Structures are given as structure tokens and as C-alpha cells.
Amino acid sequence: MRRPNTPSIGLWLLWGEPAVLSAASRAGFDWLAIDQQHGRFDDRAMREALSVPRDHRADVMVRVGANDPMLIGRALDSGADGVIVPMVRTVADAERAVAACRHPPAGIRSSGPPLVTVRDDAPDRGAPRCSIMIETAEALAAVRAIAAVDGVDELFVGPVDLSAALGRSLEELVSGGDELRAVVAAAHDAGIPASCFAGSARAASAFVALGFDAVAAATEDALVDAGAAAVRAAVLDPAPGRAAAAATTVSY
């Protein structure tokens, strides 16, 4: 359970392996993101991932491949708690994404049977979340207007693309911080959270210091690397209790 007034920590999933979702949901992350834009999750893998048993305390979002009503609808029909919509540049783009998340008369989402079997004990999540990515110069210039669009539930910064769009390095974008703080301020003034992809604990800490409410702090690769290093250290330099603690995490 996340403590009040602490950042929401997420795990970004790229491998396209549905079974990872079940394990990831037990790891204590507040939310998980399935990446269909740059990850290996095709339509089938996404549906399988969203249907595996998991700890329902962790919300599962899908970063769809494009701002496309069909892609957004399939992610939501597959059981995603919401979508992260990339490459939004204008208010009109944001309005189009919101409309794709809502059934008529509020939007244009088509009604149909769910694409996965919903467990009887699965909680009702309510309306799906529509998270709009801010990762272009145009979106940054219109960030306050985008945040004010009715139905936008979150602003989500893609820092790598945003830094490239601004002609700066990622380090310059984060160390300067003005553009990122502008996104945070726009979100908070609109009464919605500001989130960001970080990819590592160190980067996540920097984004939290800038005011972000939620950060994707790791990918599967990062977790495997960190876990391997921890196990090796516990074996080679067993501080009191460390080796025993590491051993208890092994399952057969």
C-alpha cells in the first residue's frame, strides 16, 4: 500500500512476455505499464498479459502504439485500467484521445464484448484513465490547454523524445528543469497528476524532486540487472542475514 504524499512508483514492461505481469504485480509496484509503442507487446501478448492472474492493487496501463481509436479501444476492451497516448501535439489530439476512451454520448468508443475473460473477483475500476504524453515541442507549448481538456486524467512526460524535440540532451532537460516544472504546474493547476518515464531509481528520484507524482522507475531489464547484482553480492560478501534473505527469494 502506497503511503499518502509519496510518489507512485511504476514498472515499465517491454519484453512482451505475459507471464511477467503476474510476477511484476507481486513486487509492490503501484502501477504497471505495458508498452505497445516501443515494446514487444503485440495485440495478442497484450491481451494475454491483461488476462493473467495478478495482484489487483497495481493498476495496469497500456501505452498504445498511436493515438488511434481502434488501438485505444482494443486496449480498454482487453482490460487495461487506462491508456497512455503517445505523440499528442495539440488540444485537438488530446480531445481525440479522450473521445476514444469514452462511450457515446461522451465519446466515440465502440461497445463490444470484452476481449479477455474478466474474473468474478476483479474489482470495478470505473472509467478508464486517459493519460496524455507530453513529448513534443508543440505539446509543451500547449501544455496548459491540453491539461484543461475535459477527460484528460494525467500528463505523462516522455523525457527522451521531449529532450530531442527541444534540441537538448536528456541531462540538460532534467538539470535545467524549467520545462519539466512547467508540465507539473500545468497538471497540478488542472487538478490532475504529472507522471514521467524514468527507467532507473536514480532518474526517478530526480523527477520526483521536480514535483512529478508518478514515475516509471524501472524496466524488466533493470530489475534483472539489479537482482543479479544483489544475489552475487550476497553470495560473495555475505553480510549478516544478507545471504539468508537472498536465499528466501529463490523459488523452485
Catalytic residue among 38, 56, 103, 188: 38
Q: DSSP for 217-242?
A: EEEHHHHHHHHHHHHHHHHHS--TTH
- Residue 239, C-alpha cell as written in the block: 553480510
**Is cis: bond before 69, omega within 30 of 0?**
no
Residues in the chain: 252
Q: DSSP for 39-106?
A: SS--HHHHHHHHHS---TTSEEEEE-SSS-HHHHHHHHHTT-SEEEE----SHHHHHHHHHHHS-TTT
Signed CA dihedral, 195, 55, 28, 250: sign only:
negative
Q: Does 56 qualify as catalytic in the annotation? A: no
Q: DSSP for 189-214?
A: HTT--EEEE--SHHHHHHHHHTT-SE
**DSSP structure class, residue 160:** H
Give the other-Cβ count within 10 Å of 15's Cβ: 16
Q: List % helix, strand, coil for the chain (3-state, nearest 5).
A: 40, 15, 40
Query: ∠184-199-94 over CA atoms, to 5°?
Result: 45
Catalytic positions: 38
